[in-house]
Amino acid sequence: MSNYVIGLDIGTSTTRSVIFNRNGVVISESEHAYSTYRPKPNYSEQNPLEIESAARLAISTSISKLKITPNDIIGLTISAPMHSLICINDQNEPISPLITWADGRSYPQAAIMKESYGQDLYEQTGTPIHPMSPFVKLIWMKENQYPPYYEATRFVSIKEYILYKWCGTWEVDYSIASATGLFNIHTLHWDVEALAIAGINESQLSKVVPCTTQLGPLTTRVAKELLLHTSTPIIIGASGGVLANIGVGATEEGETALSIGSSGAIRRFTTQKTIDAEQRTFQYAFTKESRIVGGATNNGTILMQWLARQFSSLTKKETVEVADLEALAATSSAGANGLFFLPHMNGERAPKWNAKAKGGWMGLTLSHTSADMIRSVMESVIFNMYEIHETLHEKENPTKKLIVSGSYARSPLWVQMTADIFRKTVILTDSTHATAWGAAWLGMFALGEVESLEAIKAYIPIKHEVLPTVRNVVMYEEYYHLYRELYNKNKPLFAEIDRLQY
């Protein structure tokens, strides 16, 4: 009997292969990094060959550490980021870099499209009109006569490219297809209108299949490199966001998962088909019956990493750790003594969808300290996540359970802020590999090894729960309304500031 399952988590900066036993215990793991290239302002590109190589190396290394045989592996399931785009030629090779979700070069096209066809397309695809979207990226390519666009016979995501290299077929799961802005979430087919506007046809896109689809076989060469059999089951899986929800047990209506790493997101599964009229949230297909609804922010722990670099420079220390900044922030009181921060240093996705949004402090006085400044940054990240959460509440059932994860959850101060601002008990799980475990569990479900996706809850130990502090709840409610007003009042200036910067 096979006893191990692999979750492959392809991320924005690293790929991690995690081997679990049937109970979710991590047996082995391996992580390999790759670079992001920014040749021009607002560009964010990667080399798909580097990522595919990192994925192969991560899997083979995690297996070789255990000294197990391919017969011990139940299967391999893949998680990948949304919104990536690669142009492929008639030899099935990349002829463009991978353009990531963070690429903002298509802002002008997004702005025009949002004012014209945007609402109709959003209601059909569930994808907000934004530079992250492959749909908008394709319009940029067409309008700027980008050579790979005209030479391409196919347009794919990084997961599709890797699976083609390994299994020889072009297929894409519902969730990754949904995030392109080219897929109709009501018919579960490529959207004719979106394709026409992007200037491409369905033959240039992959076959769309359920997230439980088994691919394969692996090619002989790839199987040998991965230390697997050609017959090892390969499950197509889903996007990282979907699988992170499964991995923390947020699988039912009213169970909300909040995850913050460099960026952040808040998501929940739903069977409701209501689309937000203001385009503030996404709604992507997961199965024929269910969808994942939520919003993502560009600005999570990346802000604290930026602060750490600035403090390192100021103090002439080789490094100032983020944990040191969090300890300093804890010496400031809740509300940072009336200091506010707008966290949009990297532009913004949900709920504002403003690529030109900026960050900055508001309310600084000579009495404020570095501790206040740091704390205000941390609070602003949670205010933004709460704003997304409140947007979901307008269309969805109330949150019954709030489960948090990501690197931010290692900070007791940040988690307490979450409980206070959301006015809810916050649940922390003991899982540090939620996305990979979600992928692995989905694979076991697809192969009939477990009875349901919901059954994963029995294998996710709760670390602890954090209750809101009553005196902070009332204060943060007032601060939140001021935070929103500060954005709205400053919004007209962002485009002018952006013009000066670029």
Residue 73 reports pLDDT greater than 90: yes
pLDDT at 216 (0 to 100): 86
In a domain, 57, yes or no: yes
Alpha carbon distance 167, 431 (integer Å): 31
Q: Are 241 and 296 in contact (CB under 8 A)?
A: yes
- What span, in angstroms and rounded, lies between the C-alpha atoms of 64 and 55? 14
pLDDT value of position 277: 86
Distance between alpha carbon 321 and the CA centroid of its chain, in Å? 24
Confirm whether 158 is domain-assigned. Answer: yes
Residue 330 located in a structural domain: no
The yes-or-no verdict on residue 395 having pLDDT over 80 is no
pLDDT digits (tens, 9 = 90+) for 323-360: 999 999 999 999 999 999 999 999 999 999 998 999 99
CATH code where residue 29 lies? 3.30.420.40
The separation between CA 476 and the C-alpha centre of its own chain, rounded to angstroms, equals 27
> For the segment 148-172, what is each residue's pLDDT rounded down to a tens digit?
999 999 999 999 999 999 999 999 9
Number of domains in the chain: 1
Write down the pLDDT at residue 17.
98
Question: Could you give the CA distance from residue 432 to residue 438 in angstroms, rounded to a whole number?
Answer: 11
Does the residue 226 lie in any domain? yes
Is pLDDT of 315 > 80?
no
What would the pLDDT profile of 176-228 be if each residue is shown by its tens digit?
999 999 999 999 999 999 999 999 999 999 999 999 999 989 999 999 999 99
* Pairing of the two strands 255-260 and 401-405: parallel
For 199, the domain range is 4-232
Q: pLDDT tens digits for 238-288?
A: 999 999 999 999 999 999 999 998 899 999 999 988 888 889 999 999 999
Q: What is the pLDDT of residue 318?
A: 72
Banded model confidence at residue 313, pLDDT cuts 50, 70, 90: confident
* Residue 256 counted as domain residue: no
pTM for this model (two decimals) = 0.93
Cα separation of 348 and 110, whole Å? 13
Residue at 255 is within a domain: no
Beta-bridge partner residues of 29 = 18
pLDDT, tens digit (0-9, with 9 covering 90-100), for 1-21: 789 999 999 998 899 999 999
pLDDT at 431: 80
Please give the average per-residue pLDDT across 99-128, as a whole number: 94
